[in-house]
Structure 1
Amino acid sequence: MSSTKATFSAKQAAQILGVSLATLYAYVSHGLLVSMVADVKRSKTYAQDEVLRLAARNADSRRAGHTAQATIDWGVPILESRISLIADGKLRYRGHDVVQLAQNASLEQAALLLWDQPKRNYFEIAPPATPHYWNALNTALANQSALNRAMSMLAALAPSEAGTTTEATGTGAQLMRMLASALLGTPILDLALHQQLAQAWQLPAQTAQAVRAALVICADHELNVSTFAVRCVISSGAELSAALSAGLAALSGPKHGGESLRVGRFLREALALPDSQLHDYLQLCLQQALPHHGFSSGLPGFGHPLYPGGDPRGKFLLSLLPEQDQARFQQLQALASALSGQQPNLDFGLAALEYCFALPLGAAQIIFALGRSAGWIAHAAEQIEYGQLIRPRARYVGNFEFTD
């Protein structure tokens, strides 16, 4: 296989960057780009990935200075990352289309890809020795929600059990196993993560494969609120378990991972109605709904600002539903999309899996949290590598009639 990198000519690079050739050459002289001699005529070429990276940085700078000045919703602040990309209606983990990856990969394989450690399988290491207090905590917190129980149990870890900030990926596999135990209220097991969910929920093999795929689909989604929380906490030098707890806290909110609970209630109400009443019910939901965390449809589980053409994750999860449920969900999806102008998103897909496979209530949120922990660890490791404290500045817009 050839290792030659794709390149742009000077003219192509300048067009993509939206600059003149003189400015392109200035970029080279200032070290922002590296030019290469292409042929005997000494014409210059530029690596495609470097040109596209610089174009993305320039676009973000323009956006930060103009259209996104008044808000950070779906805009600035910008952190550079090599982990995942949302573009052209697709989500990619380090260049791999997540829908294709989810066809066969396990969450462990997706995690190693996100961690950029494909040749170091940390999951082959035996699970950590169960802390003496672990099972007692699981029992004492049995009546708590899965996320609250997991946050409490991670907070109880000693520093030696929690993982230091210098070995995020090394201890990440162990912490994911402990997180699965805490979310499910079960012992720490030496099983694949999707098999741990399948065992706890007593799932048949076909359903376990759907859960496996859903975990992979949830593993990362760029700089969402929980991932940003993880990066902020780990940038302070805190332990990895503390950063994961911060991610869980952010995920628990109704505008993030808690949305799957709202969608689940919406689905159960909608699907309990006869066909003749479904249209009126959806119209009523639209009339009563207020704009929900930036999503324009108002219908729970529909629309996503980063996927104007439809969330590929939601579409993929719906394709995993049993055949006997496809017709009913297609009817609901088609009617809701016609009324709202939006397509199902990840939350809808997770709630649909929970409903159709008769998973325990709240299972969608557990799948989301356990899957997303792989991405949190990837971002924690990347932030540690950068070595910088995340400390944005505020633009003061208050009273300028000072008293001093």
Structure 2
Amino acid sequence: MTNATMAAMNNDLSALDAARLLGVSLPTLYSYVSRGLLASVSNGESRRKRYPQEDVLRLAARKYDAKRGGQTAVAAMHWGLPVLETQISHILDGRLLYRGCDARVLAQHVTLETAASLLWDDGASDYFQQDAPAQPPGLANTPDAPPLARAMLAMAMLTTADIPHSLQSGPALMRVLAAALLQTAPSALPLHQQLAQAWQADAQQSELLRATLVLLADHELNASTFAVRCVASTGASLPMALSAGLAALSGDKHGGGSAAARCMLTAALAAPDARTAIATFYTAIAPEFAGFGHPLYPHGDPQLGAILAACTMASDLLAVKPNADLALAAMELAFGWPDGAGMTMFALARSAGWIAHAAEQTASGALIRPRARYIGRHQHG
């Protein structure tokens, strides 16, 4: 027996263990297989079938969700049960995977456009061959609006009746979004190069931008992605679904965390001993502060090593389990990029995932409408 076969078997369950985990009898387990709800595999040396542990756990979660419908959304808000099935991305053993591909490996060599094509349809098509879209009318007249506000305005402008359908395609939306965030004309240049030009980044920083955008392209069912899927499930247009994602991203507990992290780093770097100051921040407020830790990465976010390695304060940060917020803030300060550059990178990168999730939700035809569990007082008499 090969090592690969043994490793695969270690993740498979016997019929008895699978039935016990599902809380069903053996005949019911076998009926699940015959109905296509569960796969069974042969171990190669016995006629006895085994059952992939991940498939069994997924089916068990679905059964539990069906029984506890009112509890599902509540649990999900506290990093509990999954509430939607997806083929787009997932986090497994501290690794972020895009359709089964490790995001860290992808970030070593691909662009955001390539990552978007992978997220949208497993890389079957290169969607970014088309020319740059036209600028939405009126967008150039908002010079004083913050980048995220301009981005939301651009999405709203793309929902009017006289806007051609081609402007509502994924590539066009991402390019319009980049133009709105950077206050430039839409361009067919690679998106990381558009950021590099706007911020006068050198070649090394441009490569770092490319990798960062890939790493931030999707992150399973985060708050902004869930908002996008909810809006898409109603039949709303793709620009309106992206507007929901941008709105959710703006909050301090999501994309706005990089601004708070920048303030913390600025204060720490002004202290006599930056390393001690950062450690003090981490010890005092890490559970609440956006820059430290992540419930899905208890041992630290493994995606960020390459990002922080290029920053002068990297050695001070890697010891405190930084997350994306802190990494984006560190890049802003280390390279002299504009205040809010982190949010711009986050919004542009994550739009790739939002488009993928909106399409998947629309294709399912399902309306996202969880039940509420009422806990208020009841009127008597």
TM-score, normalising length: structure 1: 0.81
* Corresponding residue to 2:294 among 295, 298, 304: 304
Distance in 2, matches of 1:117 and 1:370, equals 20
Q: Report which stretch shifted further, 61-70 or 76-85.
A: 61-70
Following superposition, the deviation at residue 375 of structure 1 comes to 0.3
Following superposition, the deviation at residue 251 of structure 1 comes to 0.3
Counterpart contact for 2:15–2:49, Cα < 8 Å: no
Q: Which residue of 1 aligns with 2:360?
A: 382
Following superposition, the deviation at residue 128 of structure 1 comes to 2.1
Letter in 2 for 1:306: L
TM-score, normalising length: structure 2: 0.86
Cα gap change, 1:51/1:109 in structure 2, threshold over 3 Å: closer, same or farther?
same
Q: Which residue of 2 aligns with 1:174?
A: 172
Distance in 1, matches of 2:156 and 2:70, equals 39
State the identity as a percent.
50
Distance in 2, matches of 1:87 and 1:202, equals 37
Following superposition, the deviation at residue 105 of structure 1 comes to 0.9
Q: Which residue of 2 aligns with 1:95?
A: 100
Following superposition, the deviation at residue 235 of structure 1 comes to 0.8
Q: Which residue of 1 aligns with 2:112?
A: 107
Distance in 1, matches of 2:281 and 2:291, equals 16
Correspondences of 1:325-336 after superposition (within 5 Å): 325=312, 328-334=313-319
Cα gap change, 1:162/1:51 in structure 2, threshold over 3 Å: closer, same or farther?
farther
Letter in 2 for 1:360: P
Q: Which residue of 1 aligns with 2:33?
A: 28
Counterpart contact for 2:282–2:292, Cα < 8 Å: no
Correspondences of 1:349-368 after superposition (within 5 Å): 349-368=327-346
Letter in 2 for 1:270: A
Q: Which residue of 1 aligns with 2:139?
A: 137
Distance in 2, matches of 1:297 and 1:152, equals 34
Counterpart contact for 1:163–1:240, Cα < 8 Å: no
Distance in 1, matches of 2:146 and 2:132, equals 24
Cα gap change, 1:91/1:10 in structure 2, threshold over 3 Å: closer, same or farther?
closer
Q: Deviations over 1:66-116 (max 9, x none)?
A: 898577222256011111111211111111111111111100000011112
Q: Deviations over 1:110-151 (max 9, x none)?
A: 0011112413111001122334x2xx422x321111101110
Distance in 2, matches of 1:182 and 1:215, equals 17
* Corresponding residue to 2:80 among 71, 75, 80: 75
Cα gap change, 1:400/1:332 in structure 2, threshold over 3 Å: closer, same or farther?
same
Following superposition, the deviation at residue 315 of structure 1 comes to 2.9
> SS at the partner of 1:115?
helix
1:236 aligns with 2:238: no
Following superposition, the deviation at residue 27 of structure 1 comes to 2.3
Counterpart contact for 2:249–2:347, Cα < 8 Å: yes
Q: CA RMSD in A?
A: 3.3
Cα gap change, 1:40/1:306 in structure 2, threshold over 3 Å: closer, same or farther?
closer
